[in-house]
Amino acid sequence: MDLDSPSLPSALREEAGPNPPAPTVSGLIGTLRERSLHAHLKRLYTQPGDCVEEKVGEYWVDIRRGNDVIEIQTGSFGSMKRKLERLLADRSVRIVHPVAVEKWITKIGADGETFLSRRKSPKRGSLYDLFDELVSFPHLILNPRFSVEVVLIKEEEMRCEDGKGSWRRKGTSIKDHILLEVASRTLFRSGGDFLQLLPAGWTGPSTNRELAKALKQPYFRIARMTYCLSRMGVVKSLGKRGNSILFGLA
> What pLDDT, in 10s, does the model give residues 36-68?
999 999 999 999 999 999 999 899 999 999 999
Indicate the DSSP class of residue 207.
Answer: -
Residue type, 95: I
- For the chain, what is the mean pLDDT? 87
- Asked if residue 205 has a cis previous peptide bond (ω within 30° of 0), the answer is yes
CA gap 217, 214 in Å, rounded: 8
* φ, ψ dihedrals at 245, nearest 5°: -75, 140
CA gap 176, 106 in Å, rounded: 10
**CB of 104 closer than 8 Å to CB of 155:** yes
CATH topology for 197-250 is: Arc Repressor Mutant, subunit A (1.10.10)
Indicate the DSSP class of residue 66.
Answer: T
Question: What is the pTM (predicted TM-score) of this model?
Answer: 0.84
**Residues linked to residue 107 through DSSP beta bridges, in sequence order:** 117, 159
CA gap 1, 240 in Å, rounded: 41
173 has pLDDT over 70: yes
128-167 confidence digits (pLDDT tens): 999 999 999 999 999 999 999 999 999 999 999 887 767 7
DSSP-based three-state secondary structure for 74: coil
84-116 confidence digits (pLDDT tens): 999 999 999 999 999 999 999 999 998 888 899
**CB of 125 closer than 8 Å to CB of 99:** yes
User: Strand 93-108 relative to strand 115-120: parallel, antiparallel, unpaired?
Assistant: antiparallel
Quickly list DSSP for 126-185: -GGGHHHHHTT-GGGGGSTTEEEEEEEEEEEEEEE-SS-S-GGGTTPEEEEEEEEEEEEE
Q: What is the CA radius of gyration of the chain?
A: 20
* CATH 1.10.10.10 residue spans of the chain: 197-250
CA gap 37, 35 in Å, rounded: 6
What distance separates the 2 farthest-apart alpha carbons in the chain? 59
